[in-house]
């Protein structure tokens, strides 16, 4: 229970952490390819024509679906996330051409902004008469949120204030428009996002009114009478016409502190909970934290794929019933797992706890990064756990929310590895990196992790304070690492030192040359799902460290459901796959059912014959980076 702590952990800023190794390669892919590709695709989609006041408006490019509008309404969010990605990428690799393109877009936005601060290219250039008429469906505040996040990142990365100032003016506009005062609107956005963006903006500007507006949006959500129902009536729309016919879809069915089941559109839900967690930290709000703990248990114990994918259904891009986790039709949107990383990271704001950090890692390595190809050029939107061979990475999508979302997460990955409180640094992720840290208690030091994680379980940490300093280092011991070993300056630490929250906390005076060495056991593990998950019944999944593994056609040919694992993983061997940037594969003896010996009958009173063979498993997040083919996570086992 973290409910009653008043400690506050916040991420290290992106520029304070230099990332190498495994994540460094991903960041290089984003810097070298994805960041530019995002802008190119936005241009091809005609987004710049919409935002540039100096060229004719393109009008409606993507058709309007009755009350629900058009995805063109959230083009500003795509540009906001793209600028955010570019900003983070500039830390790692300065790129004058890319920066100039971002500057030009920012100039357009500055020129477009209304005198009262309002800024939204769709509702200024295409449908001005619809401004603020449909908070539920029209994504106006959502777009502002992503532009704010982009503005904050761009300011931090380049020191240029223009975009930040533009978005502060929009935020000021919102502070005036929304609230409980006379003439103000007691509403909130149908797609959460503005809330967590306002927290970021408040933190970088020090403006409490932005933080309070975020809190207002969260506190108002789901109050009675329901704002969206009232808004629909006020504009002569059927209040039942809400998308997917439910208030659950956008989590406005109950006040947030009374919500106990994770429902509706998955990305919306994650962004809401992330903001709630931020506010719980900022306001030390135990009532928010209590609700979040309930929702966290609901999600991670009843509604999450083993990959950290969430939201099984395409119909509502979101949640269905407890334990309903179909594999081949899994929606499990990349954005939703990115959102889960956001939420998990913010749950650590009240103190280190592997209940959150383990899931952060699981969702990051299996749910989120899966959305990006190794070369940073192609993307997954939905992430099934089984494919008959027809699911492939694409270059763009009609709703291009995922590519910039995973890209900005990768480019800002440094801020997820560490968090700091006044006198403590928490190491949540194992990743080759160097952090420059200054704690509130005055301690200044460099912390350097050397590791080939997740391929190797050996992690060396060097702590170099400028002058000897007292502070605590908390190091996560993942729940799956039951025989982890830790040494401080060469001396073994008692495994019993792992606290209830799954961290080893070492508080001491640190001096130059101090070191920690951790070894995590990476033997493959055989996992089963809760018996209530009907889709996984009788099947097993293999994990190694934080990584979920899968069979892929590229290694194993077709007919992956004919592969039967032998019991036990004792004969498992590992191998390095150069084609997958040095990833570790797992090779196993298996049985395979033979279609040839079965004959022509579709159904028969006999069991298929089996023959012995070998199978290779590869990390799930790297699938479809080689030849196209089948893929399978949940495997059958031989009866033997």
Beta carbon of residue 559, minimum distance to its own copies (angstroms, whole number): 6
Q: In whole angstroms, how far apart are CA 635 and each of 27, 73, 301, 565?
A: 32, 42, 21, 7
Q: Does position 298 bind its own copies by CB under 8 A? A: no
Q: How far is the CB of 550 from its own copies (least distance, A)?
A: 14
Check residue 321 for interaction with its own copies (CB under 8 A). Answer: yes
β-bridge partners, 445: 437, 465
Return the number of the residue (129 or 605) whose C-beta is nearest its own copies.
Answer: 605
Side-chain half-sphere CA neighbours of 512 within 13 A: 2
Please select the residue that binds its own copies; options are 302, 350, 428, 616, rule is CB under 8 A: 302
Q: Could you tell me which of 310, 401, 379 has the C-alpha nearest to residue 84?
A: 401
Total chain residues near its own copies (CB under 8 A): 47
Catalytic (active site) residue 401? yes
Task: Among 44, 230, 328, 579, indicate the residue that binds its own copies (CB under 8 A).
Answer: 328
Q: Is 335 a catalytic residue?
A: no
Output the smallest distance, CB 562 to its own copies, in A: 5
Residue 426 near residue 418 (C-beta atoms within 8 A): yes
The CA angle 13-16-18, to the nearest 5 degrees, is 120
Q: Which of 301, 392, 444, 512 binds its own copies (CB under 8 A)?
A: 301
> Using the rule CB under 8 A, is 421 a contact of its own copies?
no
Residues between 522 and 561 with contacts to its own copies, criterion CB under 8 A: 525-535, 537-538, 541, 559-561
Q: Which member of 168, 401, 402, 550 is catalytic?
A: 401
Q: DSSP secondary-structure letter at 160?
A: -
Using CB under 8 A as the binding rule, whether residue 324 contacts its own copies is answered as yes
Is residue 434 within 8 A of residue 112, CB to CB? The reply is no
Residue among 369 and 541 whose Cβ is closer to its own copies? 541
Which tokens go with 442? 């005055």
The two three-digit tokens of residue 267, written as one number: 């990305």
Cβ contact 363:379 at 8 Å: no
Nearer to its own copies, 335 or 632 (CB): 632
> Which of 67, 123, 120 shows the shortest CA–CA distance to 235?
67
> Cβ of residue 45: shortest distance to its own copies, in angstroms?
22
Locate all alpha helices (DSSP H) within 283-333, ordered by sequence.
Answer: 286-302
Distances from the Cα of 480 to the Cα of 427, 539, 563, angstroms: 17, 19, 26
| Buried residues in 552-576 as b, exposed as e (16+ CB within 10 A) | bbbbbbeebbbbbbbeebeebeeee
595 binds its own copies (CB under 8 A): yes
Q: Please, what is the minimum distance in Å from the beta carbon of residue 639 to its own copies?
A: 4
Residue from 70, 294, 562, 574 touching its own copies (CB under 8 A): that is 562
Q: Closer to its own copies at the Cβ: 122 or 305?
A: 305
Q: Assess 500 for contact with its own copies (CB under 8 A).
A: no
Tokens matching residue 474: 């908390």
- Residue 241 as a binder of its own copies (CB under 8 A): the answer is no
* Active site residues per annotation: 317, 401
Residues at the site binding its own copies, with contacts judged by CB under 8 A: 297, 300-302, 304, 306, 321, 324, 326, 328-329, 388, 525-535, 537-538, 541, 559-562, 564, 593-595, 598, 600-608, 636-637, 639
């Amino acid at each position: 229970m973290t409910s009653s702590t008043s400690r506050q952990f916040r991420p290290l800023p992106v520029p304070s952490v230099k990332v190498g190794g495994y994540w460094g390669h991903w960041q290089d892919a984003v810097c070298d390819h994805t960041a530019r590709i995002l802008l190119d695709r936005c241009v091809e989609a005609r987004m710049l024509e919409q935002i540039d006041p100096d060229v004719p408006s393109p009008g409606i490019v993507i058709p309007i679906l009755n009350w629900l509008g058009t995805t063109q309404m959230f083009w500003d969010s795509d540009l906001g996330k793209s600028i955010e990605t570019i900003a983070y990428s500039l830390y790692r690799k300065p790129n004058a051409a890319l920066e100039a393109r971002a500057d030009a877009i920012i100039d357009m936005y500055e020129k477009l902004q209304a005198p009262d601060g309002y800024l939204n290219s769709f509702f200024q250039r295409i449908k001005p008469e619809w401004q603020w008429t449909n908070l539920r469906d029209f994504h106006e505040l959502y777009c502002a949120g992503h532009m704010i996040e982009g503005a904050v990142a761009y300011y931090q990365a380049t020191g240029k204030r223009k975009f930040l100032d533009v978005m502060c003016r929009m935020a000021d506009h919102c502070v005036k428009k929304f609230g409980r005062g006379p003439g103000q609107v007691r509403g909130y956005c149908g797609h959460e996002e503005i809330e967590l963006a306002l927290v970021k903006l408040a933190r970088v500007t020090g403006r409490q009114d932005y933080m309070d507006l975020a809190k207002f949006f969260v506190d108002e959500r789901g109050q009675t009478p329901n704002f969206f129902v009232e808004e629909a009536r006020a504009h002569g729309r059927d209040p039942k016409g809400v998308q997917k016919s439910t208030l659950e879809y956008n989590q406005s069915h109950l006040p947030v502190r009374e919500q106990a089941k994770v429902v509706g559109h998955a990305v919306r839900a994650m962004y809401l909970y992330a903001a709630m967690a931020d506010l719980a930290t900022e306001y030390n709000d135990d009532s928010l934290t209590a609700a979040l703990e309930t929702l966290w248990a609901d999600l991670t114990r009843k509604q999450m794929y083993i990959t950290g994918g969430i939201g099984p259904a395409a119909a509502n891009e979101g949640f269905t019933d407890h334990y309903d986790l179909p594999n081949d039709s899994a929606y499990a949107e990349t954005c939703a797992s990115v959102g889960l990383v956001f939420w998990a990271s913010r749950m650590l704001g009240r103190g280190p706890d592997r209940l959150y950090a383990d899931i952060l890692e699981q969702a990051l390595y299996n749910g989120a990064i899966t959305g990006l190809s190794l070369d940073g050029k192609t993307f997954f939107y939905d992430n099934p756990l089984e494919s008959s061979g027809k699911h492939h990475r694409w270059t763009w999508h009609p709703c291009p929310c995922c590519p910039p979302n995973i890209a900005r997460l990768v480019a800002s990955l440094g801020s997820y590895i560490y968090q700091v409180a006044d006198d403590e640094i928490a190491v949540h992720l194992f990743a080759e990196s160097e952090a420059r840290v200054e704690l509130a208690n005055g301690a200044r030091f460099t912390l350097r992790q050397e590791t080939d994680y997740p391929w190797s379980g050996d992690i060396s940490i060097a702590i170099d304070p400028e002058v000897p300093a007292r502070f605590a280092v908390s190091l996560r011991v993942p729940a799956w690492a039951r025989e982890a070993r830790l040494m401080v300056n060469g001396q073994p630490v008692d495994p019993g030192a792992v606290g209830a929250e799954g961290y080893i906390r070492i508080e001491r005076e640190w001096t130059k040359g101090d070191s920690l060495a951790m070894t995590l056991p990476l033997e493959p593990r055989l996992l089963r799902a809760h018996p209530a998950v009907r889709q996984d019944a009788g099947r097993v999944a293999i994990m190694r460290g934080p990584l979920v593994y899968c069979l892929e056609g590229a290694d194993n040919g077709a007919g992956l459901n004919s592969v039967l694992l032998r019991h036990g993983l004792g004969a498992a061997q590992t191998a390095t796959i150069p084609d997958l940037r040095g990833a570790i594969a797992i090779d196993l003896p298996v049985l395979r059912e033979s279609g040839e010996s079965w004959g022509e009958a579709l159904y028969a009173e006999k069991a298929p014959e089996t023959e012995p063979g070998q199978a290779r498993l590869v990390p799930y997040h790297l699938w479809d980076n080689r030849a196209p083919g089948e893929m399978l996570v949940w495997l059958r086992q031989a009866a033997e």
